[in-house]
Chain A
Amino acid sequence: MNDNVIKVENLVKYFDGRCVLDGINLTVPRGCIYGLLGRNGAGKTTIIRILLGLEPATRGRTSLLGTESTNLAPKIRGRIGCVAEGHNLIQNYKVERLIKLCKDLALQWNDESFGHLIETFRLPMDRRVKDLSMGMRAQLNLSLAMAIDPELLILDDPTLGLDTVARRQFLELAIEVIQKQDRTILFCSHILSDVERIAERIGILAAGKLVVDCPLEQLKNRVKKLRVIFSESVPANLYLTEIINQQIQGREMAITVANWNRQKQAILETFKPSSCTEIPMSLEDIFIECTRPNPQPVEIA
């Protein structure tokens, strides 16, 4: 049995001659919570749309649960829950009617879990979807996606529009889902603290490329930000590979390096800095560094 629930191979997508995705390779193993990050317009939603077969790829292959995205049979789709960006529900339907439609079309429906969610979110059944607040729509969308007990849950900015309490509830639910054996989540969000809280593996999209694809802990260990102070000015011939960002001010240099290792440390020490201190980095700091416009994007994998 193929253990990669999501597989993306050399994915290329052009929109009106503009390259949005440039040779993306990505795999998500069963049971993994994968956090896909990127700035607005980086191509996160496009990847998800291609994965779900809503958008054709220009080149490359994508598959979900071992089936090509272009060929997803209803039986496979029935094992995938999805919360789309903007919560694209049928706006003119009443909540009750939308729920009935989803229930009738679902291969399996967990009444108990769905009832629990509806009760938690206190969703009004007699109101039209378009009359619900953005937060309520997000909650409804999430409840519908969770009700089918999905093997794979795809969440495209699911907490957009949710207040702090609802966001926390959502994250706890996501954790509950992953705790059920073999559940996999692909989670795109702009709220990095949410991703940091639940994701095991991180992918960062920048300039159409997946510049980061590794476990969260590994990412934190591999990307280092150092403040290096030299006795005189910063040596002009100082060169390290895979520099993500470098700022020099007089004798002081702040440098962010990818794939930090002993070899790079040894090279830096040959320039005899008077001090070298590591600046702790959160996922948000790493994200900002990795998505900074850079003539030569550095890949961390």
Chain B
Amino acid sequence: MLTLIKREIRDHELFFIGSVILSAVLIGLSIATLDGHYWIELVTFDSPAGAIVLPIIIFGFFAMGAVQMNTDRIRKISAFISILSVSRNRILLAKIIAGLLAILIALVPLAVTVTILLRIHAPPIPIFYVMVLEIFSGTFLITLACYFIGLQAGWNSGRPIPAIVGLALTCILATLILIKGFTPEIIVILSLFIVASLIRTWHLFMSTPL
């Protein structure tokens, strides 16, 4: 399994480098302002920078999912790997773990930094920490949802309609967050959407001829 995950990371190292750069830039911005609230504004789109950052994250991970699946299909990588001692389940799982890692690389260091900044600069009110948790779990879920849409769109790349539907769904999700913010209802909707996407991706990958 580790070999498969390592292969995915190495084959899509650009996305991992992108995640690190994005995380570093946002951490830099947060530290530079020396104000823990800046990031909260950023993610809740109270600042113009926030409205730029979230679409970058969303479409970046949509692209990662699409590229992972599309290159696999074009180069017949899974067809080759699956005749070795590997099951299709494991191949897909390795792809998803690699995607999750890239998302976590982008978000976790930032979340830790914001928490530390809050501890240093903000008054010790628990509501701040709850807000950070909500914001980061929401960002994580929306990114994951878009990543799964990307996986499906990439696998169906021969047919333009599923890819267009995938992109449209990503836009709808992004707009929903922009309008409503990370409310508990949105998080529940996103969680359900992710489960449905995961099942659909798994079904597509398992049932399509390689």
User: In the docked arrangement, what's the CA distance between A82 and B79, Å?
Assistant: 11
Q: Are A74 and B76 in contact (CB under 8 A)?
A: no
Shortest CB-to-CB span from A85 to chain B, Å, is: 11
State which of A89-97, A245-253, A256-264, A285-293 sits at the interface with chain B: A89-97
Take A77-B85, A105-B3 as given contacts and tell me if A90 and B77 are in contact as well, using a CB distance cutoff of 8 Å: yes
Take A56-B207, A56-B209 as given contacts and tell me if A84 and B77 are in contact as well, using a CB distance cutoff of 8 Å: no
Pick from A84, A88, A106: contact of B85, CB under 8 Å: A106
- In the assembled complex, A119 has its CB within 8 A of some CB on chain B: no
Contacts of B75 in A (CB 8 A): 90-92
- In the assembled complex, A125 has its CB within 8 A of some CB on chain B: no
Contacts of A89 in B (CB 8 A): 80
- In the assembled complex, A197 has its CB within 8 A of some CB on chain B: no
Pick from A56, A75, A80, A92: contact of B83, CB under 8 Å: A80
Take A90-B75, A92-B75, A105-B3 as given contacts and tell me if A77 and B84 are in contact as well, using a CB distance cutoff of 8 Å: yes
- In the assembled complex, B82 has its CB within 8 A of some CB on chain A: yes
Pick from B79, B81, B85: contact of A107, CB under 8 Å: B85
Contacts of A106 in B (CB 8 A): 84-85
User: In the docked arrangement, what's the CA distance between A106 and B87, Å?
Assistant: 12
Q: Are A88 and B81 in contact (CB under 8 A)?
A: no
Q: Are A77 and B83 in contact (CB under 8 A)?
A: yes
Q: Are A104 and B3 in contact (CB under 8 A)?
A: yes
- In the assembled complex, A73 has its CB within 8 A of some CB on chain B: yes
User: In the docked arrangement, what's the CA distance between A88 and B82, Å?
Assistant: 12
User: In the docked arrangement, what's the CA distance between A102 and B77, Å?
Assistant: 12
User: In the docked arrangement, what's the CA distance between A84 and B77, Å?
Assistant: 13
Question: B199-210, CB under 8 A of A: which get 1 and which 0?
Answer: 000000001011
Considering only CB atoms, which chain A residue lies closest to B209 in the complex? A55
Shortest CB-to-CB span from A261 to chain B, Å, is: 43
Q: Are A54 and B3 in contact (CB under 8 A)?
A: no
User: In the docked arrangement, what's the CA distance between A62 and B86, Å?
Assistant: 19
Could you tell me how many residues of chain A have their Cβ less than 8 Å away from some Cβ of chain B?
A: 27
Tell me the A84-128 residues at the B interface (CB within 8 Å).
Answer: 84, 88-92, 101-102, 104-107
Q: Are B209 and A101 in contact (CB under 8 A)?
A: no
Take A88-B76, A90-B75, A92-B75 as given contacts and tell me if A53 and B3 are in contact as well, using a CB distance cutoff of 8 Å: no
| A53, A78, A82: most-surrounded residue (chain B CB, <10 A) | A53
Take A74-B87, A101-B7, A105-B3 as given contacts and tell me if A53 and B82 are in contact as well, using a CB distance cutoff of 8 Å: yes
- In the assembled complex, B90 has its CB within 8 A of some CB on chain A: yes
Take A49-B209, A56-B209, A74-B90 as given contacts and tell me if A105 and B85 are in contact as well, using a CB distance cutoff of 8 Å: yes
Shortest CB-to-CB span from B111 to chain A, Å, is: 33
Q: Are A101 and B82 in contact (CB under 8 A)?
A: no
Considering only CB atoms, which chain B residue lies closest to A77 in the complex? B85
Take A49-B209, A56-B209 as given contacts and tell me if A102 and B82 are in contact as well, using a CB distance cutoff of 8 Å: no
Q: Are B84 and A102 in contact (CB under 8 A)?
A: yes
User: In the docked arrangement, what's the CA distance between A92 and B72, Å?
Assistant: 12
Contacts of B207 in A (CB 8 A): 56
- In the assembled complex, A65 has its CB within 8 A of some CB on chain B: no
Shortest CB-to-CB span from B9 to chain A, Å, is: 13
Shortest CB-to-CB span from A213 to chain B, Å, is: 25
Shortest CB-to-CB span from B73 to chain A, Å, is: 12
Shortest CB-to-CB span from A97 to chain B, Å, is: 9
Pick from B79, B85, B87: contact of A54, CB under 8 Å: B79
Considering only CB atoms, which chain A residue lies closest to B81 in the complex? A105
User: In the docked arrangement, what's the CA distance between A84 and B84, Å?
Assistant: 12
Contacts of B84 in A (CB 8 A): 77-78, 102, 105-106
User: In the docked arrangement, what's the CA distance between A24 and B50, Å?
Assistant: 62
User: In the docked arrangement, what's the CA distance between A186 and B124, Å?
Assistant: 72
Question: B51-82, CB under 8 A of A: which get 1 and which 0?
Answer: 00000000000000000000000011101111
Considering only CB atoms, which chain A residue lies closest to B77 in the complex? A90
- In the assembled complex, A52 has its CB within 8 A of some CB on chain B: yes
Considering only CB atoms, which chain B residue lies closest to A105 in the complex? B84
Pick from B4, B76, B86: contact of A77, CB under 8 Å: B86
| Cβ-closest 9 pairs across A and B | A78-B85, A104-B3, A74-B85, A55-B209, A82-B83, A105-B84, A54-B210, A77-B85, A107-B85
A to B CB contacts below 8 Å, 12 in the list: A49-B209, A52-B83, A53-B82, A54-B82, A54-B83, A54-B209, A56-B209, A74-B87, A74-B90, A90-B80, A105-B85, A105-B86
- Which A residues form the contact surface with B (CB < 8 A)? 49, 52-56, 72-75, 77-78, 80, 82, 84, 88-92, 101-102, 104-107, 148
Question: What would 14 more interface pairs be, CB under 8 Å, given A74-B90, A101-B3, A101-B7?
Answer: A52-B82, A52-B83, A54-B83, A54-B209, A56-B207, A56-B209, A74-B87, A75-B85, A80-B83, A82-B83, A88-B80, A89-B80, A105-B3, A148-B85
